[in-house]
Structure 1
Amino acid sequence: MSLNLRQVAQVLAGANDALIITDGEGRIQDTNAAHARLTGYTQDEVIGKNLFRIHGGLSCPDTYKSVWRGIKQNQNWLGEISNRRKTGEVYTENFSLCAISDSEGKTQNFIAVMSDLSDSLDLDSVAWKRANYDYVTGLPNRQLFLERLDQEIKKYRRNGAPMALLLLDLDRFKEVNDTLGHMKGDVLLEEAARRICRVLRETDTVSRLGGDEFAIILPECALLHVQQAAHDITEALAQPFESGRWRSLFHFGQCGNCALSRQCGRSQYPGETCRSGHVFRQGGRAEPFPLFPSCHAAGSPNQDDPDQ
């Protein structure tokens, strides 16, 4: 190893980022302590092995093509790749590779610097979940709901699959919060969310829009299925709520002196609307649904439904 590279190695020996120095063929000559912490491999276990073999195979081929294109054009490359620890755990790392050439332009050494991105990705995942899911019920919030509604409308435009939207709220729910407290109101919302999800398909989306308002997307469904789903939700919410010392305290039909009726608007696509915002608003302006007194309906029936 040249004097300059030894100086680089000394500077980076105590760095937080992992360091590997190789010869011109990619054979590892030196590593620092951070590399052992990151990968689990001691220096003796990797000296003499090829950097590109121990770091290859986990990322897509285009990534490695990009690495060598960057080395050829600019003598360096920086990006994210997948690697595997000694334990077998696969993780994502920030990977920087620099080629050191002699006076004739021949590559003499490579210097690779790596840092673990797992914690950053975990934080990004937590932040995304907080931004897209309701903290009380764990359901998708209004933002994620509108994104999924847009996706379903686009799916219809591609393959003609109809979808329906149900809008549901618990009347006089504010009285529950005012008389029993917000904590018990949150418990009631959680249970309402569980009951709604329980009677629907895994492919359906149940969202809490805020307060006591819920929205449900029913993809690829005919009118009869929409009617059945509305009926099942109504029946599920009609059962009394029981939980420990609050046994029989809540009832979705009655809660003390507070009646909790369920109102549900329905909008079906395809119909007269073409955008998610229009479908959403149409469900809120629904006319009475004759089969279910507690439900309201709007939109056009599925033209393929025999019972329209």
Structure 2
Amino acid sequence: MSHPHSAPAGARCRTHDGGHPSTPSCREATEYDWQRQQHELRLLAIVFETGQATLITDAEMRIQKVNRAFMEITGYQAEEVVGQTPRLFKSGRHDKAFYARLWESLETTGHWQGEIWNRNRRGEVYPLWQSITAVHDDQGQVRNYVAMFHDISERKRLEQERERQASRDHLTGAFNRRAFDAALRREIQRAERMGEPLALLLLDIDHFKAVNDRHGHARGDEVLCRLVERLSRGLRATDLLARWGGEEFAILLPGTPLQGAAAFADRLRVQVSEHPLQGLAITVSVGLGEWRSGEGPEALLRRVDGALYRAKSAGRNSVVVEGRAVHGEPAPLAVTEAGNEVTS
């Protein structure tokens, strides 16, 4: 389709009195121009129908045309969206500031691209990578907007899976040490900002070496996995359980004062001691502390690790809060199976 302001094909071959010369070269030039324009139109049609999802709007953002890829991704048919505006697809996940930045870019540069979340015809919210370009006429006025996008749901899923794998212990599925360190820094900053309490537990399986020595590391690994499952059942969505290393685990309790955290820790201790894991009677020792205003992660960890050391030194199967025992009983010096002693 020729531009409304362009000269018709062959116009440059007209004579001074408006007639068309009959020279072969001019006829060939006119035929060449026509063929080139037809070829360009076919290319544009192919790109529109086989490329990325595309929608074209007028200057008032009313949708004029969409392609097949658009319909496949959004679930809408052309007749359902033509005459509508892209507000039809809003997911509700972006605030006014997001759209203000989008329009500022369009108005100043004529282009915007980025990640955006839309809602399809089925009501599902999904991520897109989208580019929007303003099309101007010869006077510099916006005549159309052309938006092209593709669904990045699979890419986001893979990113989340990589992030999950990078932040999780591969054996137990609990968060790993690196993820815990980041979470501890983040929660301390939040507690400082909000003036809220923050408690930290360090937990160690008593006499775990006896499990590995008597039953092998595979059985020991199963005990670790079952313990994580049991501990996780008692946690809130805001709590965080991490494998600290070996048979040690850390639990962050945001918004929890020391007294509540101590009661929670002793409940965990009792639940573990009263319910065998993989057929083995297991106990745990727990050290507990509460973050103090102005204290950094290292200082808090040192205090809680000291409490854990004292819990194990006092006979294990106990909870110690910064130097004082809360509850507990001395753990047997050997892990038992079905009521029978297992020598360590």
Normalising by structure 1, we get a TM-score of 0.77
Residues in 2 aligned to 1:86 and 1:200: alpha-carbon distance in whole angstroms: 37
* Aligned residue identity for 1:68: W
**Code of the aligned partner of 2:124:** E
Offset, 1:229: 3.3
Instruction: Name the SS for the 1:138 alignment partner.
Output: coil
Aligned position for 1:103: 138
C-alpha distance in structure 2 between counterparts of 1:68 and 1:214, whole Å: 49
Cα root mean square deviation, aligned: 3.2
In 2, are the aligned partners of 1:133 and 1:144 still within 8 Å (CA)? yes
Given the alignment, which residue of 202, 205, 212 partners 2:240? 205
Matched to 2:306, the amino acid is R
Matched, 1:81 2:116: yes
Distance 1:65 1:200 in 2: 40
The within-5 A match list for 1:1-308 is: 6=41, 7-15=43-51, 17-46=52-81, 48-56=82-90, 58=92, 59-199=94-234, 203-241=238-276, 248=279, 250-252=280-282, 262-270=284-292, 274-286=295-307, 288=310, 293-294=315-316, 295=318, 297=320, 299=322
What is the aligned partner in structure 2 of residue 256 from structure 1?
Answer: none
* Contact 1:164/1:269 (<8 A) preserved: yes
Q: Percent identity?
A: 32
2:88 aligned partner, one-letter code: I
- 1:65 & 1:199 partners in 2: Cα distance? 44
Once the two structures are TM-superposed, the CA of residue 147 in structure 1 deviates from its matched residue by 2.7
Q: 1:2 to 1:53 in 2, by over 3 A?
A: farther
Deviations 1:126-154 (A, max 9, x none): 22222222233332222232233223433
Deviations 1:269-292 (A, max 9, x none): 228x821122113322336359x7
List alignment gaps of at least 5 residues for structure 2: 4-36, 325-344
Q: Distance in 2 between matches of 1:57 and 1:152?
A: 30
Partner Cα distance (1:158, 1:23) in 2:
48
Deviation at 1:29, TM superposition (A): 3.5
Structure 1 position 123, deviation (Å): 1.6
- Larger CA deviation: 230-239 vs 218-227: 218-227
1-side partners of 2:144 and 2:87: how far apart?
Answer: 16
Is contact 1:267–1:300 with CA below 8 Å preserved after alignment?
no
Mean CA deviation greater in 130-139 or 292-301: 292-301
Pick 1 or 2: higher relative contact order, CA cutoff 8 A, min separation 6: 1
1:270–1:300 contact (8 Å) kept in structure 2: no
**Which consecutive unaligned segments of at least 5 residues does structure 1 have?**
254-261, 302-308
- Report the TM-score, using the length of structure 2 for normalisation: 0.70
Q: How many residues are matched?
A: 284
Contact kept, 8 Å, 1:162 with 1:221, in 2: the verdict is yes
Instruction: Verify the 8 A CA contact 1:196 1:233 in the aligned structure 2.
Output: yes
